[in-house]
Structure 1
């Protein structure tokens, strides 16, 4: 092993100490920055809140995961009582799926159909059986992405506004699908 000169050892040691010091300083600076930012955040939020008046904002109501699951299970139970194999989907106001339950033996097409029916019901705040009738006057409605204008979707409302949609697919008729979706919606009122 080659022996290093005194000068090389001193320079190498100084570089190591400098690197260690820079790393420590960087770590202290990195942990100190969020504390300073956190202290400034409430002040910024307060000034932003005072600048925003109530007429510039709106509140919305959302269905909880527990409520969505309760509704989906009620729809599935109603279908099982009639020996029907269905899939039920519950979506939020924005059409995002909260929960989907696929019953034993439900067809593979029922999963996507249930989600689309739920989305369609909440988007128009109407049962999809009613919306299917509107296609006679406006046949282009069916071209809107993500929608399905077949009976089986029911909206869920709170404070006279849509907050969720329940879609059911897989029964031999849209009337049955919608009956089970309505059973899911009714479970939320209990």
Structure 2
């Protein structure tokens, strides 16, 4: 009985692994890193062109997100600013956060919200603040923060990530540092 259960479990695991390999091969899933250090490293999932129910997505790799966050933090530290940095993916999920030494407790959450806002609207948050004059209810969208300091990362014009910085004395400085993070990816 014990031997049968073990062999049955092994068979299920082997079958599951085989199905996963076939599914991934059929969908053409692959990972690609940038060939140039200035270009963003992304992970792309290709879809089966014959299946209209599937879409293609592009995301920053964890390495690229970490480089961007560190570049933003380094830019702030060069100007003696204590900030937090967040990088979110296209879906607004946090990929990396760095809280600089001495950054205020509010900066962590603010950085995430600025990054989310930048990727959601594919625009720097300083530009989005200007839109509030014509559409004041934008600020009511959950998870957003319409203050300077968020910057989108794009690939072929489409948003793939957002970088948010918070903690400097002005949104202009926060956004300058967020842009430095995007620039580190060749944005």
TM-score calculated relative to the size of structure 2:
0.79
Aligned residues between the structures: 168
**CA separation of 1:99 and 1:46: change in aligned 2, threshold 3 A:** closer
Q: Tell me the residue number matched to 1:189.
A: 186
Question: 5+ unaligned residues in a row in structure 1: which ranges?
Answer: 1-21
RMSD of the TM alignment (CA)?
2.6
Separation in structure 2 between the aligned mates of residue 187 and residue 23 of structure 1, nearest angstrom: 57
Higher helix share: 1
Q: Tell me the residue number matched to 1:115.
A: 112
Q: Tell me the residue number matched to 2:153.
A: 156
**CA separation of 1:30 and 1:112: change in aligned 2, threshold 3 A:** same
Q: Tell me the residue number matched to 2:170.
A: 173
* Residue correspondence of structure 1 range 41-56 to structure 2 within 5 A: 53=50, 55-56=52-53
Deviations 1:119-147 (A, max 9, x none): 00000000001111111111111111111
**Deviation for aligned residue 1:80:** 1.1
Q: Tell me the residue number matched to 1:9.
A: none
Separation in structure 1 between the aligned mates of residue 67 and residue 22 of structure 2, nearest angstrom: 41
Larger of the two Rg values belongs to structure: 1
Q: Tell me the residue number matched to 2:43.
A: none
Asked if 1:73 is matched to 2:70, the reply is: yes
**CA separation of 1:175 and 1:32: change in aligned 2, threshold 3 A:** closer
Structure 1 runs (4+) deviating above 2 angstroms are 22-49, 54-58
* Residue correspondence of structure 1 range 113-152 to structure 2 within 5 A: 113-152=110-149
Q: Tell me the residue number matched to 1:14.
A: none
Deviations 1:92-129 (A, max 9, x none): 10111111111111100000000000000000000001
Question: 5+ unaligned residues in a row in structure 2: which ranges?
Answer: 29-47
